[in-house]
Amino acid sequence: MLAIANSTPLPNGFYRPQGVHDELGMGSDQRHNGNSLLLSYLDQLGQKELSRRQGVAEMAIVNFGITFTIYSEGENIDRAWPFDIIPRCIAETEWRRLESGLIQRTQALNAFINDLYNGQKILKDGRFPGEVVLNSRNWRPELCGVLPKFGVWAHICGSDLLRDKDGVMYVLEDNLRVPSGVSYMLENRLLTKRILPELFRNQSILPVDDYPSQLYDMLASLSPRSGDKARVVVLTPGIFNSAYFEHAYLAQQMGVDLVEARDLVVDETDTVYMKTIHGLKRVDVIYRRVDDDFLDPEAFRADSMLGVPGLIRAWKRGRVGLANAPGTGVADDKVVYSYMPEIIRYYLDEDPIIPNVPTWRCHIPEERRHVLANLDQLVVKPANESGGYGMLMGPHATPGEREEFIGLIQANPRNYIGQKTLTPSTVPTLVDGRIEPRHVDLRPFILSGKQTWVTAGGLTRVALRRGSFVVNSSQGGGSKDTWVIANRDRG
């Protein structure tokens, strides 16, 4: 049942990973992950007890109401969050390196966005092709000249990391718009503590529960008013949004109000208020979980009924803090992603610590030719979509699907990139009472204010279907608790 080295004889129920990097003990060199404890523990527990505990976890999830919402057949359905009880382990040594890589990346991204809206030095220096961003649908020219506090635009970033066959972690993408999943990271830890309490006694697992406080402090630091206690709110599109659980959860954890657009109003002095039982009260900082398009009908989409008229006006005048800043999405783009190594070198004068996945950009003729010629080996992604939609998984696609993408790429080359197909690492996962390898990714969350801060680990998403690489919860993915296991010398 457990993964073991190829040289060892295979005990009953253990799986032997093939052609992938299995994070739990594929070779003896992996044992330093702190996994050996987990391995022997799982073995001791036995499959029956493991299945029982999985059942307990699933009950807890239903009872706690940990859900995500999917829209299906004209109806919103509240689904229980799929969770696997076997934690995914990362050694602290490796984690510290990833952490600094993420901090480096986020700082460079923020410098880049701030530059785009203020001076466009990188374009003038010819280090980044202007047409790529200036034609992007996420580019907001009306925001040019705005200087948010600390020069930070992407206050909350969720970067997706993937470990390939070679054991190296790559950054797959940076989610800068309204990245979600952090509440599940927190809930997963609570669940694991209930389900596998024994394992927390014998090793030091870095805690994750500091996130709400860190988030609150960062948000409060964006307040335009000094001295006063800042009034921070979380802005949600409403209960039918797929991440509503998380919006409510974060508001609750931070002890702030969860508001909808209809609760807010902006007056002629460009001050934002919320409607309370005692009349209007000033709002200082909004953690908005609403897309740019639906933030303010005055600014972005006059046809939209959603949003708070005047909000962008208030933000531009520095009367309210918005996280993430409007217009941040311009950097949440696969083509921008492909330039990240250059962007890091340009702003920080450092080499990237975490590598990008090799990427070919279809707006550059020779790279496009490479993509078209190697469609059966590459993954093709649209530049601006998230959630795994609109992709072509070359190796698994039918000839018809490849034909379709050839047409799409040629019609709009700017909108596509090709990427090397990675084989995400596997970790042991409980499937129908048996331990089997399943592919995972990792989404750490990075907070940027005056300083930059990274969660210890992040959300591990797991593709629960055999052989599948798709980790999105809307498409058969689940999640696991992620353990960064402290080095022994820390005690």
Partner 1 sequence: MMLSRVAENVYWMARYLERVEDTARLVVATHHAMLDMAPVNDVQPMNWEQLLAITGSREEFFKRNSRADEQQITNFLIRDDEYPGSILKALHFARENMRTTRELFPREGWEFLNRLFLETRSAGSRDFHAANRLEFLELVINECLRMTGLLDSTMVRDETFSMFRLGRYLERADMVTRILDVRGALMLTRHEDVDRPLRNALWLTVLRSLSGDQMYRRRVRPRIRGVDVLAFLLKDRAFPRAFRYGVSGVAHCLEFIGGAHAAQGIIARIEEQLYLADITRLADNTGLHDFLDGLQILLGELHATISRTYFNQEVEKPSPTDLGSSPVGMSSRGRTSTATLNRCSRPPVTTPFTGGTSA
- Total number of residues shown for the chain: 491
Distance of CA 346 to the CA centre of its chain: 25
CA pair distance 246, 426, nearest whole angstrom: 27
CA pair distance 455, 185, nearest whole angstrom: 10
Q: Report the residue number, 183 or 356, with the smaller CB distance to partner 1.
A: 183
Q: Report the residue number, 201 or 278, with the smaller CB distance to partner 1.
A: 278
CA pair distance 102, 454, nearest whole angstrom: 8
Q: Report the residue number, 96 or 262, with the smaller CB distance to partner 1.
A: 262
Q: Report the residue number, 146 or 259, with the smaller CB distance to partner 1.
A: 259
CA pair distance 312, 296, nearest whole angstrom: 6
Smallest gap from Cβ 466 to partner 1, in A, equals 30
The SS3 assignment for 8 reads coil
Smallest gap from Cβ 59 to partner 1, in A, equals 9
The SS3 assignment for 115 reads helix
Dihedral angle of Cα 448, 450, 453, 459, to the nearest 10 degrees: -20
Smallest gap from Cβ 63 to partner 1, in A, equals 4
- DSSP label at residue 468: -
Smallest gap from Cβ 238 to partner 1, in A, equals 8
Look at the block and give the residue holding tokens 């209809």: 262
Smallest gap from Cβ 305 to partner 1, in A, equals 15
Q: Report the residue number, 43 or 263, with the smaller CB distance to partner 1.
A: 263
Contact 423, 19 (CB under 8 A): yes
Using alpha carbons, select from 326, 414, 353 the residue that is nearest to residue 140: 326
Contact 232, 219 (CB under 8 A): yes
Smallest gap from Cβ 284 to partner 1, in A, equals 12
Smallest gap from Cβ 58 to partner 1, in A, equals 13
CA pair distance 307, 290, nearest whole angstrom: 8
Q: Report the residue number, 128 or 211, with the smaller CB distance to partner 1.
A: 211
Smallest gap from Cβ 257 to partner 1, in A, equals 6
Smallest gap from Cβ 190 to partner 1, in A, equals 10
Smallest gap from Cβ 230 to partner 1, in A, equals 13
145: tokens are 């000249």
Q: Report the residue number, 143 or 232, with the smaller CB distance to partner 1.
A: 232
Q: Report the residue number, 152 or 243, with the smaller CB distance to partner 1.
A: 243
Smallest gap from Cβ 464 to partner 1, in A, equals 23
Residues that bind partner 1 (CB under 8 A): 62-65, 239, 248-249, 251-252, 257-260, 262-263, 265, 267, 269, 273-282
Q: Report the residue number, 64 or 389, with the smaller CB distance to partner 1.
A: 64
Q: Report the residue number, 230 or 462, with the smaller CB distance to partner 1.
A: 230
CA pair distance 18, 32, nearest whole angstrom: 21
Using alpha carbons, select from 216, 258, 206 the residue that is nearest to residue 234: 258
Q: Report the residue number, 80 or 431, with the smaller CB distance to partner 1.
A: 80
Query: H/E/C letters for each residue in 187-244?
Result: HHHHHHHHHCHHHHCCCCECCCCCHHHHHHHHHHCCCCCCCCCCCEEEECCCCCCCCH
Evaluate the CA torsion angle 483, 485, 486, 491 in order and state its sign.
Answer: positive
Q: How many alpha carbons lie under 13 Å from residue 28 in its C-beta half-sphere?
A: 2
The SS3 assignment for 386 reads coil
Contact 415, 382 (CB under 8 A): yes
Contact 437, 15 (CB under 8 A): yes
